[in-house]
Amino acid sequence: MSSIGSNSFNLLSSLTYLDLNSNQINSIESGDFNGLSSLIFLDLSTNQINSIESGDFNGLSSLNELYLSYNQINSIEVSGFS
């Protein structure tokens, strides 16, 4: 899987734990995590993500833990985590 896809999780509003570790995901797009308002834990480690942009994590208002280790991140927008 190289991308997540907008609204892929739209019907999973009660989901609290999502592990996408070790998938070959190379980009995150605004809207990929729509509907995950209850998500507390998100693991995106060991992928091929190269940038974090504004809006990439929109809607994750309950998120407490985010793992991005072992990616190829070379660019993070200032508002990438707001």
Three-state secondary structure call for residue 16? coil
Check which CATH number belongs to the domain holding 61 and give it.
Answer: 3.80.10.10
DSSP 51-63: EE-TTTTTT-TT-
CB-based contact 71:49 (threshold 8 Å): yes
Looking at the whole model, is its pTM more than 0.75?
yes
At 50-80, the pLDDT tens digits run 999 999 998 899 999 999 999 999 999 988 7
At 16-42, the pLDDT tens digits run 999 999 999 999 999 999 999 999 999
The whole-number pLDDT of residue 3 equals: 87
The whole-number pLDDT of residue 70 equals: 98
Number of domains in the chain: 1
> Alpha-carbon distance 82 to 57, whole Å?
8
Domain encompassing residue 46? 1-82
State mean pLDDT over 4-16.
Answer: 92
